[in-house]
């Protein structure tokens, strides 16, 4: 019996990005299916974040196309804002709102309604931030701030999760929690696009990995295969 593969959520076709004479990303094709996790590996400046920004619609490729659910992706489109969750981009916080209030704002903005408060409290617990719910974000440690960014993703609905080095500043225990979280997200049907320096995290959660070097894909396959292909 042949199982029909699900329709892809995010399709990048021949996308590249140049800044003047510098080609930060050479043409890349990428298809992200529901329930699939793709990890981007590579040294600093290899083009991982550029590719993620393009996939999130936050940067326009110099060539190629990005489509979401079969339609060209625009960051400002309602569907993109409702369904694509990008973590790690919120560098600033409201100085007068507590951690809990930040999450409440996101949950309500995404239509959380009456359930928003309950959802926020459970997410705070899941992200080990319960004790800091009533604290101002300025008082959090860098690891806790990273956890807040991840919590902001969890209090909203999402079909695609885009994460740029989410393991940064997390302690080993929190990194294990992150791996478990991403596996759960996949199981729930979310597509995950992840840039990371942490090979163990990629091996634990990714179905496919791309290794980038100087903006070019130099290895592709399962995380093990992708890394082996460049060694």
Partner 1 sequence: MAAQTAEIERADSTDATMRLLRELRRTRSRKQVANLAYWLYLAAFAIFSYGGWLVAAIVRALRRPPPPVADTPMLLRAAPAGLAALALLVLVILLWDARWRGPVVIGQPTADWLLDTPIRRDRLLRPRYRASAARFVLAGGAAGLIPAVLLLAAGLGGSGPADSLRLAGVAMLGTALLAALGAGAAAWAEAHAHAILRVATPAGLLAVTALAGVAALAAAFRLPAVISTVLLWSGPWGWAAQAPVALAGGSAPLWPVATTLLALAAAAAIVLGDRAAAEVPAAVLRARARTLGHMSAAAFNLDARRVTTAYRGAIGTYGRVRLRIRAPRSRQLVLPWRDLTALVRAPSRLAWSALLALASAGLGALAVRAPHAALLPLIGALVLGYLAAAGFCEGARLDGDDPRRSAQLPFRYDTLAQWHAIVPCLALAVLAGCPAAALAIITGHALLLPLIAATIAVLVGGALVNSFRGELEGEMFEGFDTPLGNSSGITIMLWYVTGPLLAVGPMIILWSAAVTAERASRTIPEAVLSAALAAWLVHIAAGRARRLKSP
> Pick from 83, 121, 126, 216: which binds partner 1 (CB under 8 A)?
83
Q: Which of residues 90-109 bind partner 1 (CB under 8 A)?
A: 90-97, 101-102, 104-109
Let me know: does 191 contact 161? Beta carbons within 8 Å. yes
CA distances for 124 relative to 37, 50, 99, 182, angstroms: 24, 30, 9, 17
81 binds partner 1 (CB under 8 A): yes
8 binds partner 1 (CB under 8 A): no
82 binds partner 1 (CB under 8 A): yes
Residue with tokens 């080993």: 172
Binding-residue total with partner 1 (CB under 8 A): 50
72 binds partner 1 (CB under 8 A): no
Q: 64 in helix, strand or coil?
A: strand
Q: CA–CA separation, 169 vs 133, rounded Å? A: 20
Specify burial of residue 222 (Cβ count, 10 A radius: 0-12, 13-18, 19+): middle
Pairing of strands 71-72, 63-68: antiparallel
205 binds partner 1 (CB under 8 A): no
Interface pattern 126-155 for partner 1 (x via CB under 8 A): --------------------------x-xx
> How many other β-carbons are positioned within 10 Å of the β-carbon of residue 146?
22
CA distances for 4 relative to 30, 191, 207, angstroms: 19, 17, 18
Interface pattern 160-189 for partner 1 (x via CB under 8 A): -x-----------------------x--xx
Binding segment (CB under 8 A) for partner 1, from list 85-93, 169-177, 208-216, 222-230: 85-93
The residues binding partner 1 (CB under 8 A) are 20, 34-35, 58-59, 69, 75-76, 78-79, 81-84, 86, 89-97, 101-102, 104-113, 119, 123, 152, 154-159, 161, 185, 188-190
């Amino acid at each position: 019996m042949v199982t029909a593969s699900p329709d892809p959520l995010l399709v990048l076709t021949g996308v590249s990005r140049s800044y003047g004479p510098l080609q930060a990303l050479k043409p890349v094709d990428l298809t992200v299916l529901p329930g699939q996790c793709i990890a981007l590996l590579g040294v600093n400046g290899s083009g991982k974040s550029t590719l993620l920004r393009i996939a999130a619609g936050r940067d326009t490729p110099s060539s190629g196309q990005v489509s979401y659910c079969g339609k060209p992706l625009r960051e400002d489109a309602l569907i993109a804002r409702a369904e694509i969750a990008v973590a790690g981009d919120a560098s600033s916080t409201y100085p007068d709102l507590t951690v809990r209030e930040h999450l409440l704002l996101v949950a309500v903005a995404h239509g959380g309604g009456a359930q928003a408060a309950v959802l926020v409290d459970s997410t705070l617990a899941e992200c080990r931030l319960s004790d800091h719910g009533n604290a101002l974000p300025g008082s959090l440690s860098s690891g806790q701030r990273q956890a807040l960014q991840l919590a902001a993703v969890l209090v909203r609905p999402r079909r695609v999760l885009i994460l740029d080095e989410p393991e940064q500043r997390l302690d080993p225990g929190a990194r294990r929690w992150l791996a478990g979280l991403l596996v759960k997200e996949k199981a729930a049907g979310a597509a995950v696009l992840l840039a990371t320096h942490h090979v163990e995290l990629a091996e634990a959660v990714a179905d496919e990995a791309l290794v980038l070097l100087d903006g070019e894909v130099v290895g592709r396959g399962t995380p093990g295969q992708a890394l082996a292909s460049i060694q």
